[in-house]
Chain A
Amino acid sequence: MVATSHNKQDEELLHQLQNILLKDDRVAIERLQETIDDPTLLSEKISPIIEERMMFFKEAFPKEFKATVDKMIEVKLKASQEEILDVIYPVMGKMIKKYVNHQIQMLKDSIDESIKKTFFSKGILWRIKNSLFGIKVSDQVIHDLKDYQIEEIYVIQRNSGLLFGSASTENTIDQDVIAGMLTAIKSFVEDAFKREREDLEMIQYGTYKILLQNFYSYYVAIAISGTMTSTEREDLANELLTFAEEHLNNMPPEPDGQIFKTISSALGQEFIKK
């Protein structure tokens, strides 16, 4: 009985001692619990810390992770080289063409200037007529020739010669075979003359021309009748670049029936029904 009474007293003393020693801690824990339970209070406390870490992360990220990110980009670029090239090819082409066009325009202006000086007296009526309609002399000479017409257009996989799509003004012989033979001729010429990084750009017979515009994994062949000025050819090349940007960016590795339908329909609308 005596032992039990002592134990109780000890417990009471211990409890009092705990209350005295842990009083402040308990208040602090209670306040902390309230802060954790209340999202507004918690946010007030944590937000500055997160912001500070974010600022640090923003500043330190380029330094700390540059090598890792560079490596990741390098790996990704290597893995999707073909897709990336197909996307940037038309854009690069446009930029180069813009520059070349500018240079050609300067050359044409200089030729016009020379013609003006040379034929001032002889062609005065002709020149008056042209200037009334805003036509340049050099353009007038070329435009007097017959207009061109796109007869057929093909989008062909560069290596295999398989057809991604085609459109034509009338029914021709098997277009798959035409695409294959064009690719064979192209490969033969490019191999035979061994001119690195140079592509066959045109095949001509009589007044019929086949223009070949090369992209990374495919090329476009356009059969044209009539006469085409260099300006018209440039315009057509630009149209093709725009078409490639809009319709040929996500080409599958192998042609299939669905992609053939989609591309053929777009080719028809853009180039044949004009």
Chain B
Amino acid sequence: MISRKVILTGSFGVGKTSLFRRFIKGSFSEKYITTIGVKVDKKVVEVRGEEVSILLWDIAGEVKQDKVPKSFFLGASAIIYVFDLTRPSTYKNIGVDLNILDEILPDTILKVVGNKEDLIEDKDKLAKIKAEVNATIDVVTSAKSGHNVEQLFFDLAANFVD
């Protein structure tokens, strides 16, 4: 079995804990409880017959990534940077944030995730938001419906096996 540490980070209220819960427990809650410090949990994913244990660190949201204790990132094999598709304030500094993350862990897999897809009315609106974001979005998810959540982590696990 392969074990890897994965970090969930981004601004507050973007749905990191909801993604965490959706992936680990397969559930969703409308209640918003802010994360204090960090929460750690684990899920084992099977990729091409190989078990990959993903130790997921759900880090308390910060408006800027330089506010997150650097030691939380150490030893991580991947970072998932989450923003809220419905709140421009959560992606307006995305370029700066991604640079900070790249400086902390230069050779680590970095996935940019736009969450709360279920709140976007149509494809045109989504395309407009995507055009506003100053970064390449790897995947658009909905923790509420579960859309693309499993796939996001499965793709990450596949990277670890490769």
A residues apposed to B, CB below 8 Å: 157-163, 174, 176-177, 180-181, 183-184, 187-188, 190-192, 254-257, 260
Residues of A near B4 (CB, < 8 A) are: 162, 254
- Interfacial residues of chain B within 124-139, with CB under 8 A of chain A in the complex: none
Please, how many angstroms separate the alpha-carbon atoms of A28 and B161 in the complex?
Answer: 73
Offer 9 A-B interface pairs, CB within 8 angstroms, sorted by A. Answer: A159-B75, A160-B5, A160-B77, A161-B75, A162-B75, A176-B42, A176-B55, A190-B71, A192-B69
Chain B 50-74: CB-based contact to A (< 8 A → 1; otherwise 0): 0001010100000000000111101
Residue of A nearest to B70 (CB): A191
Q: Return the chain B residue nearest A163 by Cβ.
A: B3
Contact, CB under 8 Å: B75 / A184? no
In whole Å, how far is B36's beta carbon from the nearest beta carbon of chain A?
Answer: 10
- 6 tightest A-B CB contacts, nearest first: A160-B75, A159-B75, A180-B40, A159-B74, A187-B71, A191-B69
Among A177, A187, A257, A260, which residue has its beta carbon within 8 angstroms of that of B72? Answer: A187
CA of A158 to CA of B75, assembled, Å: 8
Q: Which residues of chain A have C-beta atoms less than 8 A from B3's C-beta?
A: 162-163, 176, 254-256
**Cβ contact of A180, chosen from B2, B42, B69, B74, cutoff 8 A:** B42
Q: In the complex, which residues of chain B have a beta carbon less than 8 angstroms from the beta carbon of A163?
A: 3
Chain B 4-26, CB-CB to A under 8 Å as 1, else 0, gives 11000000000000000000000
Pairwise interchain contact B76-A184, C-beta atoms closer than 8 A:
no
Task: Tell me the complex Cα distance, A184–B76, Å.
Answer: 12
CB pair B57 A184 closer than 8 Å: yes
The number of chain B residues with a CB under 8 A from chain A is: 21
Assuming A160-B5, A176-B55, A180-B55, is B76 touching A188 (CB within 8 A)? no
Q: Is B33 an interface residue (CB 8 A)?
A: no
**Bound Cα distance from A160 to B42, whole angstroms:** 13
The answer on a CB contact under 8 Å between A188 and B74 is: no
Nearest residue (CB) in A for B2 is A256
Residues in A with CB closer than 8 Å to B5 are 160-162, 180
A161 to B53, CA, bound (A): 13
* Structural contact, B55 and A187, CB atoms closer than 8 A: no
Asked whether B158 is an interface residue with its Cβ less than 8 Å from the other chain, the reply is: no
Report A86 CB to chain B, min CB distance, Å. 15
Contacts of B37 in A (CB 8 A): 184, 188
**B55→A161 contact, CB < 8 A:** yes
Closest B residue to A191 by beta carbon equals: B69
In the bound complex, residues from chain B placing their C-beta under 8 Å from that of A183 are 40
Having A180-B57, A191-B70, A254-B3, one finds 14 other A-B pairs with CB under 8 Å, namely A158-B75, A159-B71, A159-B75, A160-B77, A161-B5, A161-B75, A187-B69, A187-B71, A187-B72, A188-B69, A191-B71, A192-B69, A254-B2, A256-B2
Distance, CA A96 to CA B72, complexed state (A): 30
With A176-B53, A180-B57, A187-B71 known as contacts, the answer to whether A160 contacts B40 (CB < 8 A) is no
Q: Say if the beta carbon of B38 comes within 8 Å of chain A.
A: yes
B41 within 8 A of A: yes
List chain A residues, Cβ under 8 A from B38: 184, 188
A188 CA to B60 CA, complexed, in Å: 12
User: Residue of B at shortest CB range from A157?
Assistant: B75
- A181 cross-chain contacts in B, Cβ below 8 A: 40
Query: What distance in Å separates the Cβ of A190 from its nearest Cβ neighbour in chain B?
Result: 7
Whether A160 touches B69, Cβ cut-off 8 Å, given contacts A255-B3, A256-B2, is no
Nearest A residue (CB) for B74: A159
Given contacts A177-B42, A180-B42, A184-B40, contact A160 B74 (CB under 8 A): yes
Smallest CB separation, B106 vs chain A (Å): 15
- A181→B40 CA distance, assembly (Å): 6
Residues of A within 8 A of B55 (CB): 160-162, 176-177, 180
A246–B42 CA distance with the chains assembled, in angstroms: 30
